[in-house]
């Protein structure tokens, strides 16, 4: 399974990099929150200096509010900027699945792992193609269907597109050769949301 962040953005080609898309989506889709640079660096598995450079550019453009609390720099979306609302809508359609599902799924009881796969993961991995029309998620674990349905509904509301969640047991995931679909998912580009390194 491919989990490596690509150098160019196929989800939103206007952006310089997928990191910028992930960072902006996370901040804009959680507008009530402040995030420290070390916290963001850990979340996206990059250096603090990489996050700091992006933060400087976003703050200069007035897209994020940057403030210091002691020696800790905090970022949050800048709601006064008229570009933030439409930009948030675009980010929800492109990089939103990472920000929304990585926030919702860890709270689902019994969930061990979760992966984005299908057309969204293919675009994220750099494969050319049309924008994804839906979001496909594979979850691993002993999860109640109603909990998954609730998470899918919440994600669909935030992302403005269908979210399809496919559940498999940990045993099925460990021995995918029994299921051609799981073999295909493992061989295809995928993005780890919960429980596995990106």
At 141 the three-state DSSP class reads strand
Contacts 24+ apart (CB under 8 A), 79-84: 79/31, 84/28
Domain-terminating residue out of 63, 95, 127: 95
CB neighbours of 198 closer than 8 A, spacing ≥ 6?
3, 4, 5, 45, 191, 192
Residue 60 lies in a domain: yes
Strands (E), the chain: 35-36, 64-69, 72-77, 111-117, 135-141, 163-168, 191-194
Residue 17's SS3 state is: coil
For residue 22, being part of any structural domain is answered with yes
- 12 lies in a domain? no
Kindly tell me the number of DSSP H helices and DSSP E strands found in the chain: 9, 7
Q: For residue range 77-124, what is the model confidence (pLDDT) as tens digits?
A: 999 999 999 999 999 888 999 999 999 999 999 999 999 999 999 988
| Neighbouring residues of 183: CB distance < 8 A, sequence distance ≥ 6 | 176, 177
Instruction: Check if the beta carbon of residue 137 is closer than 8 Å to that of residue 115.
Output: yes
SS3 138: strand
**In contact, 105 and 194? CB cutoff 8 Å:** yes
Domain stop point among 95, 128, 163: 95
Which candidate, 27, 1, 47, 36, places its Cα nearest to that of 96? Answer: 27
Q: Consecutive sets of 10 residues in the chain, 198 residues long: mean pLDDT of each?
A: 56 83 92 94 92 93 93 93 92 90 93 94 86 93 94 93 95 92 92 74
CATH of the domain at 148: 3.30.460.10
In this prediction, residue 195 carries a pLDDT of: 80
d(CA 31, CA 27): 6
Q: Angle 18-28/48-60 helices, nearest 10 degrees?
A: 70
Q: 167 and 133, same structural domain?
A: yes
Q: Domain with 79 in it: what CATH number?
A: 1.10.10.10
Q: What residues does 111 pair with on adjacent strands?
A: 141
Domain carrying residue 42: 18-95
Q: How far apart are CA 127 and CA 120, in angstroms?
A: 10
141: which strand partners? 111
163 neighbors 152 (Cβ within 8 angstroms): yes
Q: Residues 91, 128: one domain? A: no
How many distinct structural domains can be found in the chain?
2
The pLDDT score that the predictor gives to residue 93 is 86
- For residues 85 and 165, state if they share a domain: no
């Amino acid at each position: 399974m491919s989990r490596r962040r690509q150098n160019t953005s196929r989800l939103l080609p206007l952006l310089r990099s997928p990191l910028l898309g992930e960072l902006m989506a996370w901040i804009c889709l959680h507008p009530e929150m402040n995030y420290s640079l070390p916290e963001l660096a850990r979340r996206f598995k990059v250096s603090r200096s990489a996050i700091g450079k992006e933060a400087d550019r976003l703050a200069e453009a007035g897209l994020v509010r940057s403030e210091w609390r002691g020696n800790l720099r905090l970022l949050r979306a800048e709601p006064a900027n008229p570009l933030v609302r439409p930009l948030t809508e675009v980010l929800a359609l492109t990089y939103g699945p990472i920000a929304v599902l990585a926030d919702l799924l860890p709270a689902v009881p019994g969930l061990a792992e979760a992966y984005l796969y299908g057309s969204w993961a293919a675009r994220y991995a750099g494969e050319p193609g049309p924008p994804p029309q839906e979001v496909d998620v594979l979850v691993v674990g002993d999860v109640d269907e109603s909990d998954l349905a609730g998470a899918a509904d919440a994600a669909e509301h935030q992302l403005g597109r269908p979210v399809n969640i496919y559940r498999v047991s940990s045993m099925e995931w460990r021995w995918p050769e029994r299921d051609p679909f799981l073999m295909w998912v493992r061989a295809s580009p995928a993005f780890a949301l919960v429980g596995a390194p990106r």
